[in-house]
Amino acid sequence: MTVRLRVAPSPTGDPHVGTAYMSLFNLAFVRREGGAFVLRIEDTDRARLNEGSEQQIYDTLHWLGLDWDEGPDIGGPFAPYRQSERLETYRPVVEALLESGRAYHCWCSPARLTEMREAQQKAKQPTGYDRLCVGKTREERAALPGFSEQPVVRMLIPDDAPLSFADLIRGEVNAPRPDDQVLMKTDGFPTYHLANVVDDHEMGITHVVRGEEWIASTPKHILLYDWMGWERPQFAHMPLLRNTDKSKISKRKNPAARLTWFVEQGFLPEALRNFLALMGYSLPDGQEVFSFEEMVASFDWSRVNPVGPVFDVDKLRWLSGHYIRELPVEELASRLVAFMGIDGAAADVVTRATPLVQERVSTLLEAAGMVGFLLDDRFAMDPEAAAKQLGHDARPVLEAARGALHDLTSFDTAAIEAALRAALVDGLGLKPKHAFGPIRVAVTGSTVSPPLFESIELLGRDRTLVRLESALN
Ligand code: GLU
């Protein structure tokens, strides 16, 4: 059997980190088995649609290096891969289910459904549709209160619906009894439950790998497969990513739930890939730093831990720093230049500064912050650093440094260091810390910077003197 797996994000805003997490695990299995990975856009929830979100899904997954074999952007044998373009596929299924009595029209208005649910809650009964519409014609139902013109279509869940299923990660799973799920909404769009099953069947999906929040829905999906006489796929429900307080990671509470956050923060994609893999996966030898290829080589569902992994950004930072130090310096420089969106002379000086920061940063954002002083339009004086280092005592230090650098014949690191030591340490009798602290802040705008003398060389004499001057003023 050739395996076919899919990830099926809904384009409802900034892509969720869970989409990357699911893609990674789906893809690891596909690459191990040699099958196809499908990207399907589930855009049937018209109210939550967000323009631009679909493109962001493509961009962030590409950034992460997770590529799909079929999808709306590249086509494939089962196109279209956008559910809104597949409405004709769902209708005949709904017709067939209505015909066979597996599904029924429901004309209950939203107001009636709310009332019903509130009454059930008050009476401490389980909530769920009370089947007022079952077995009624439109006319019969119209005579009762809470009727709405446009019906939905619901599943008639049988008493003996199968509630347990085999999960590749969890073994035998028991799910609660489902409600009479809406399959087709009043706007003629299918719900997720219908569209997802129809598409997984039509697209030949062999393994449905998704988040644990869908466990409760799986019995409904299984019923649909069985009713339609379709072969069930295998299921694997991945653990939910959790905040450090163990709550489900959500875009509202945690910026790290947004995939674009990792791009903005300048984490290396290979670090995020490794980090997401660690969320539930471990290599046989327990090593924590590993590549996607190593994950693929050892991949097995039995190695996935179903217990909700904690999303610890400090760990990611550590990994990202590790990968930054492993990069060839030219590669790091070109990534940093691209991250900063610079070219020409600015790119050149940042490239030359890159070796000075490689050991000191864990993200491209930190690196950009450290080298930004080299670009006049990004130089900014940190007021706290200025208050600490550029008080009255600093005046003689800055003046002496200005004199020493002004007269220097060759403006290189060694000469700069020698001249400043002679002027400040020997000349003014200052301890190095007191001598160079004010210079660092005047020149770089911060108390943390790449090594000082190298920084001054990169900045050049003219700009260094201008900055000493303006600190003096
Ligand atoms: N559209 C669903 C989601 O975004 C897909 C769930 C599934 O993979 O079945 O969570």
Rounded to the nearest angstrom, the gap between the alpha carbon of residue 282 and the centroid of all alpha carbons in its chain is 20
pLDDT score recorded for residue 15: 94
Output the CA torsion sign for 122, 125, 126, 129. negative
Residue 363 lies in a domain: yes
Chain mean pLDDT for the chain = 96
- Looking at 307, 326, 345, which one is the last position of a domain? 326
Tell whether 122 and 226 lie within a shared domain.
yes
Tell whether 322 and 426 lie within a shared domain.
no
Ligand 1 within 6 A of CB of 42: yes
Residue 408 lies in a domain: yes
pLDDT score recorded for residue 308: 80
pLDDT per position as a tens digit, 270-318: 999 999 999 999 998 999 999 999 999 999 999 999 998 888 999 999 9
Tell whether 313 and 390 lie within a shared domain.
no
pLDDT score recorded for residue 51: 87
Tell whether 224 and 108 lie within a shared domain.
yes
Kindly report the CATH number assigned to the domain that includes residue 29. Answer: 3.40.50.620
Q: Which residues are catalytic?
A: 251
Tell whether 206 and 95 lie within a shared domain.
yes
For atom 3 of ligand 1, the residue with the nearest CA is 9
Ligand 1 within 6 A of CB of 10: yes
Ligand 1 within 6 A of CB of 265: no
Ligand 1 pocket test target in 27, 207, 214, 250 with most atoms within 8 Å of CB: 214
Number of domains forming the structure of the chain: 4
pLDDT score recorded for residue 347: 98
Ligand 1 within 6 A of CB of 9: yes
Ligand 1 pocket test target in 6, 27, 210 with most atoms within 8 Å of CB: 210
Distance CA 19, CA 40 (A): 12
pLDDT score recorded for residue 46: 85
Tell whether 50 and 23 lie within a shared domain.
yes
* pTM, two decimal places: 0.93
Residue 80 lies in a domain: no
Tell whether 400 and 347 lie within a shared domain.
no
What residues pair up with 419 in beta bridges, in sequence order? none
Tell whether 184 and 110 lie within a shared domain.
yes
Kindly report the CATH number assigned to the domain that includes residue 423. Answer: 1.10.10.350
Residue 79 lies in a domain: no
Residue 77 lies in a domain: no
Distance CA 392, CA 369 (A): 27
Please enumerate in sequence order all residues whose Cβ is within 8 A of that of 206, keeping only pairs 6 or more positions apart, or say none.
Answer: 1, 2, 3, 4, 5, 35, 233, 234
Residue 19 lies in a domain: yes
- Looking at 340, 355, 376, which one is the last position of a domain? 376
pLDDT score recorded for residue 246: 84
Contact 370, 361 (CB under 8 A): yes
Tell whether 215 and 111 lie within a shared domain.
yes
pLDDT score recorded for residue 250: 81
Residue 209 lies in a domain: yes
Ligand 1 within 6 A of CB of 26: no
What's the CA dihedral at 173, 176, 180, 186 to 10 degrees? -70
pLDDT per position as a tens digit, 161-217: 999 999 999 999 999 999 999 999 999 999 999 999 999 999 999 999 999 999 999
pLDDT score recorded for residue 248: 85
Tell whether 355 and 418 lie within a shared domain.
no
Tell whether 336 and 248 lie within a shared domain.
no
Identify the domain containing residue 132 by its residue range: 86-238
**By three-state DSSP, how is residue 397 classified?**
helix
Residue 11 lies in a domain: yes
- Looking at 314, 341, 376, which one is the last position of a domain? 376
Taking 50 as the pLDDT cut, the residues of the chain under it are: none
Ligand 1 pocket test target in 10, 40, 240 with most atoms within 8 Å of CB: 10
**By three-state DSSP, how is residue 8 classified?**
coil
Tell whether 304 and 196 lie within a shared domain.
no
